[in-house]
């Protein structure tokens, strides 16, 4: 497989587009899940249907992002980072990809164990996996999903702290690595 290495300090346009689409979708999907949690029982199903459909779209976007990343290598992390910063960034980004794949997969498996397809905003049905009905297992998978979903939100907080530390306090232009404008310091 031929791989492309970046010529500057920035991510490619496609990587940027996918990063921001995924970031916005995850934050919106978190707020939808919270709204579902706090809604009256009669409204909960309709609200959560949006969480399921957007979750599956995030899975598709993440698969595209990972495939693109395998062929178009990201720019190396800034050379001035300390070794603990490099380690923390690598671990955070790695866990992000694991959660971005496993959260919707768990949702899909659990819905399938309820014998239910996922209604994709009324456009089509995302089919259930051919597994036997097991509502108890489905409930257990959703419990784990909710815990890992909250871990994802904490990780976003950490990620944001990193961006603020670098962009606002150290002024190394870190944020602009993920944007097509602004000045990035090596």
Rg from Cα positions in the chain? 19
**26 lies in the binding site for ligand HEM (CB under 6 A):** yes
CB of 93 to ligand HEM, least distance (A): 4
The residues facing 150 across adjacent strands are none
* 103 neighbors 148 (Cβ within 8 angstroms): yes
Spatial separation of the C-alpha atoms in residues 138 and 143, rounded to whole Å: 9
Using the structure block, give the residue that is written with the tokens 């199903």. 45
**51 lies in the binding site for ligand HEM (CB under 6 A):** yes
CB of 48 to ligand HEM, least distance (A): 6
**156 lies in the binding site for ligand HEM (CB under 6 A):** yes
* The dihedral sign for the CA sequence 74, 54, 151, 134: negative
The Cα diameter of the chain in Å comes to: 55
CB of 174 to ligand HEM, least distance (A): 5
The residues facing 125 across adjacent strands are 119
**118 lies in the binding site for ligand HEM (CB under 6 A):** yes
**30 lies in the binding site for ligand HEM (CB under 6 A):** yes
Which one of the spans 39-47, 128-136, 156-164 is the region binding ligand HEM (CB under 6 A)?
156-164
User: How many CA atoms within 13 Å lie on the side-chain side of 38?
Assistant: 5
Spatial separation of the C-alpha atoms in residues 86 and 172, rounded to whole Å: 15
**113 lies in the binding site for ligand HEM (CB under 6 A):** no
Size of the site for ligand HEM (CB under 6 A): 45
Spatial separation of the C-alpha atoms in residues 40 and 36, rounded to whole Å: 8
Residues of this chain, 121-150, that bind ligand HEM according to CB under 6 A: 142-143, 145-146, 149-150
The residue ranges that bind ligand HEM (CB under 6 A) are: 19, 22-23, 26-27, 29-30, 33-34, 37, 48, 51-52, 55-56, 58, 69, 74, 77, 93, 96-97, 100, 103-104, 107-108, 111, 118, 142-143, 145-146, 149-150, 152-153, 156, 159-160, 163, 174-175, 177-178
């Amino acid at each position: 497989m031929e791989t492309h290495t970046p010529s500057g300090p920035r991510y490619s346009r496609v990587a940027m587009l996918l990063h921001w689409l995924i970031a916005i979708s995850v934050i919106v999907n978190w707020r939808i899940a919270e709204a579902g949690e706090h809604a009256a029982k009669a409204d909960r199903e309709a609200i959560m249907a949006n969480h399921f459909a957007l979750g599956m779209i995030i899975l598709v976007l993440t698969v595209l992002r990972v495939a693109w990343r395998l062929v178009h290598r990201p720019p190396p992390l800034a050379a001035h980072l300390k070794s603990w910063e490099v380690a923390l960034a690598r671990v955070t980004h790695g866990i992000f990809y694991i959660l971005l794949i496993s959260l919707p997969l768990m949702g899909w498996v659990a819905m399938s164990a309820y014998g239910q397809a996922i209604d994709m905003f009324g456009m089509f049905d995302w089919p259930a996996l051919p597994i036997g009905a097991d509502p108890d297992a489905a409930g257990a998978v959703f419990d784990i999903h909710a815990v890992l979903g909250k871990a994802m939100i904490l990780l976003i907080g950490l990620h944001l702290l990193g961006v603020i530390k670098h962009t606002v306090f150290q002024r190394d232009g870190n944020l602009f690595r993920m944007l097509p404008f602004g000045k990035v310091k090596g």
